Structure 1
């Protein structure tokens, strides 16, 4: 069916939701707008789907959500005999339509006789992961678009282990979703009916309390009766879901000097005080920095709207605040945790990181006798490794990715900003007692292991044309690979689509034992590397860079040379 035919099908559907019908009429005279809304179904990928709100098959709306839930319901019926009684846990964030989509989920699942547990109010993504395990549900769904702009929402699927579904499982679910022929005519129960039948259970704070008990067990220093009351903390939830859990978590550890950025404490789907509700972007800390200067804070912490990512800013030598990168914070957290880990746990302990995360963690892990395991980008792969460790006898110690995602305790199987906030504040308190800031602690690590520096650039290419350009970039670089980048010779090319590592010097090929993905990584001399990867959740081409040298100035110059050459190549390709 052409996009024109699909548009006509929606336009002529008598029972079309009134709001969507009005929005459809508003773009009825824009051929480009209609094509983008209808030229394909919204991609249901390995972690679920994410898209712009509005009418159309390529948009987030009640009908595309129903289609996703219908496919999941059929998958659960075919794979879990007890799916109806175990049910599905559902949480949602502060975005437009989030609660409505959660209820639509229950209405579809209810038609299959499958119970749904929905939180009474907004909750962080990591709590959903915990809830799946705590409630022993057959699956979980998180309604969120994470840190995307306000016009987006999303739908993430979790398996019974509480992790985002891995590729093999996702492929089966995607197949069932794609088999649903008409998203407009999916049978649903009414909300009143599923509530009457006991198929929609509203969840209060009982899951929060169970999570907080596990959270308290993560503390290292409080076991030694440390005094956290003197640490001055500024906290911003960036209009999202983390306020309640982070405040309770910090207070139960003994942190008292906490200053909340009140203007950003209220949930707001417009994220009206920031250009982007993403702690990866330093502008998101503008208000927190103002508060920090007023109260002379030791540490500033900020979470993205669904509270799976944490950003941290700390004082530099001049009294200003510097936002740590995800790699820097992850490295500091891991090294701090290893100080308190027993020799026995380190022997079979594992650090798990992604292929685009700093190599500094590997150097520190090696020093502590800990093995490092690499995964593809996406915390679902880290969660999958934790599950494997249950039968292999390996012990999960820490997992992280460069995009501000961290996990310490495996009672959650996704990145967890609440956990990370607790340990970050504990770590800041430790280093304060040693007379140092976190930046000074980081410099000590650089002195010991070398000056590791990483960066990432992204090129936004929206719509159908953008998707074609992203594919063109990767195809061109794959067919005409670099022999050097930024003056550094290429030693290896890792092609994750071919699952192959190619030695440029000898021609030798080795298999990469990771899932297939359209990603290219160049390993260069002097332990430098460059990786090209299309975003799985946004219309972006992402390029990652990593170097190490004896000084920050030298590393910065190396990074810049890599970025300039790669950017020039990409511009030539897309023009």
Structure 2
């Protein structure tokens, strides 16, 4: 069995392959360490535990609950699979000291993970996860405690319905396709939209722990079935959520994908112009300059963080944040909860369509008329370990004068290495915090330039064009 030093918390929690690194023994060790820290901060406090739709996730959640309870904590476990934002909302709107979510989010079905949440429902900061790592022991604990099973879904869905303008959504007469990608959002977004008068067709909504071979990340090609269903069926839009439903992807009535950058910009504009809200906008450094441009248009301040919602959460704790989001589709509004919520973002898009009497594609066109066009793509490289290690060793010294024929104006090394180029174009190279990948991100005014930047980025990663 791996020693304690082999278990590490990444961008958002500890994740491993089920029955390989993610075993009951390792889970109990992590739950034991988390229980020690929670009990030190709030002796006898309440901890809420949730889980997604992956293989054995419910059983793993109960095993974690028994270990947490053995530390004198009062543990409440969801009576069914639920989205991570439902767990976070439940923690924030209760007397809980924190929460634990058993999920691997957007990672493939073979993974499972252990996310920690603070008493306000937000992601655990590095200072907290460092304490949990330090509390890990090589031996799995023997002690077990009792826990309570509760409904965490009903109150959360009611909160979602009350957050949006139900009359505007109802009056729009929308027909949409919902694709939870077999994840924890199944049934819940469809149920909520239906209650608001939307005609909904849900796909990939049945229980399938293997996710039907789909990768539960709401981006192409994983959402192509949704895009076809929308275009072929004459629907108004499609909304997709990831494995634990904290991320959002969408398409317009033609089936054209609406990426998370544009969703973040759209929702930001809607909160200000449609709801009269104000505040700072927080984005990760892998997120589009469209967000900066719409914020400037609206007179809002923008803060940029490393990749990972925990950094956005820290900004939310500091106060004054209107909205925070990342390129992966995780977008959160602290007035709701200091966490991402894919279901809420879908509802706000529907609200926007209803209030403005515009289709999703028209809303995007109207946005780009204000911000100007920008295109974005990400490429994930699965590399042999020695190739990845060689790139990591070279990364601090990468300093090309030009990339894809464009002069490098500046280099940012806050998280990976990001090259700033003319006309707001950029290229970012970084290793994934949750998977054995190197990610290449690029943005430019046109798709051809983005393709050239991605190809140049791949050469840099492979050491072919240093």
Q: What TM-score does the superposition give when structure 2 sets the normalisation length? A: 0.93
1:237 aligns with 2:180: yes
Tell me the equivalent position of 2:413. Answer: 495
Which of 320, 333, 340 is the matching residue for 2:267? 333
Tell me the equivalent position of 1:557. Answer: 448
Which residues in structure 2 correspond to 1:43-58 (within 5 Å)?
A: 43-45=8-10, 47-55=12-20
Deviation at 1:127, TM superposition (A): 0.6
Unaligned ranges ≥5, structure 2:
none
Q: 3-state SS of the aligned residue for 2:69?
A: helix
Deviation at 1:249, TM superposition (A): 2.5
Deviation at 1:46, TM superposition (A): 5.4
Q: Distance in 2 between matches of 1:47 and 1:312?
A: 23
Change (3 A) 1:220 1:230: closer
Tell me the equivalent position of 1:406. Answer: 331
Q: 3-state SS of the aligned residue for 2:206?
A: coil
Q: 3-state SS of the aligned residue for 1:45?
A: coil
Runs of 4+ in 1 over 6 A off after TM superposition: 37-40
Deviation at 1:226, TM superposition (A): 6.2
Q: Distance in 2 between matches of 1:182 and 1:221?
A: 52
The structure with more radius of gyration: 1
| Contact 1:383-1:414 at 8 Å conserved across structures | yes
Deviation at 1:422, TM superposition (A): 0.5
Tell me the equivalent position of 1:371. Answer: 301
Change (3 A) 1:182 1:574: farther
1:475 aligns with 2:373: no
Q: Distance in 2 between matches of 1:471 and 1:259?
A: 45
Q: Distance in 1 between matches of 2:451 and 2:172?
A: 42
| Contact 1:473-1:574 at 8 Å conserved across structures | no
1:61 aligns with 2:1: no
Which residues in structure 2 correspond to 1:117-136 (within 5 Å)?
A: 117-136=76-95
1:249 aligns with 2:189: no
Tell me the equivalent position of 2:208. Answer: 268
Tell me the equivalent position of 1:527. Answer: 424
Which residues in structure 2 correspond to 1:403-552 (within 5 Å)?
A: 403-431=328-356, 433-434=357-358, 437-461=359-383, 466=385, 468-496=386-414, 517=415, 519-548=416-445
Which residues in structure 2 correspond to 1:288-299 (within 5 Å)?
A: 288-293=226-231, 295-299=233-237
Which of 51, 55, 79 is the matching residue for 2:41? 79
Deviation at 1:409, TM superposition (A): 4.9
Q: 3-state SS of the aligned residue for 2:307?
A: coil
| Contact 2:181-2:214 at 8 Å conserved across structures | no
Deviation at 1:229, TM superposition (A): 5.4
Which of 149, 174, 179 is the matching residue for 1:202? 149
Which residues in structure 2 correspond to 1:272-287 (within 5 Å)?
A: 272=212, 274-286=213-225
Deviation at 1:294, TM superposition (A): 5.1
Q: Distance in 1 between matches of 2:227 and 2:440?
A: 29
Which residues in structure 2 correspond to 1:28-177 (within 5 Å)?
A: 41-45=6-10, 47-55=12-20, 59-80=21-42, 83-84=43-44, 86-177=45-136
Tell me the equivalent position of 1:314. Answer: 252
Q: 3-state SS of the aligned residue for 1:410?
A: coil
| Contact 1:408-1:420 at 8 Å conserved across structures | no
Tell me the equivalent position of 2:143. Answer: 188
Alpha-carbon deviations, 1:330-380, whole Å to 9, x = none? 2222222222243xx43xx11111111001111111111111111111112
Which of 258, 281, 291 is the matching residue for 1:324? 258
| Contact 1:46-1:165 at 8 Å conserved across structures | no
Tell me the equivalent position of 1:32. Answer: none
1:216 aligns with 2:161: yes
Alpha-carbon deviations, 1:372-395, whole Å to 9, x = none? 111111112222211110xxxx2x
**Alignment length, in residue pairs?**
466
Change (3 A) 1:234 1:45: closer
| Contact 1:492-1:524 at 8 Å conserved across structures | yes
Q: 3-state SS of the aligned residue for 1:138?
A: strand
| Contact 2:380-2:439 at 8 Å conserved across structures | yes
- Which is worse superposed, 40-49 or 562-571? 40-49
| Contact 1:327-1:357 at 8 Å conserved across structures | yes
Question: Over the residues paired in the alignment, what is the CA RMSD in angstroms?
Answer: 2.4
Q: Distance in 2 between matches of 1:457 and 1:256?
A: 35
Tell me the equivalent position of 1:506. Answer: none
Tell me the equivalent position of 1:351. Answer: 281
Change (3 A) 1:522 1:109: same
Change (3 A) 1:547 1:256: closer
Deviation at 1:66, TM superposition (A): 0.6
Deviation at 1:292, TM superposition (A): 2.6
Change (3 A) 1:449 1:290: closer
| Contact 2:387-2:462 at 8 Å conserved across structures | no
Alpha-carbon deviations, 1:36-86, whole Å to 9, x = none? x8997243335321111124xxx0010110110111112123222xx32x2
Q: What TM-score does the superposition give when structure 1 sets the normalisation length? A: 0.76
Unaligned ranges ≥5, structure 1:
1-5, 7-36, 497-516, 549-554
Deviation at 1:423, TM superposition (A): 0.8
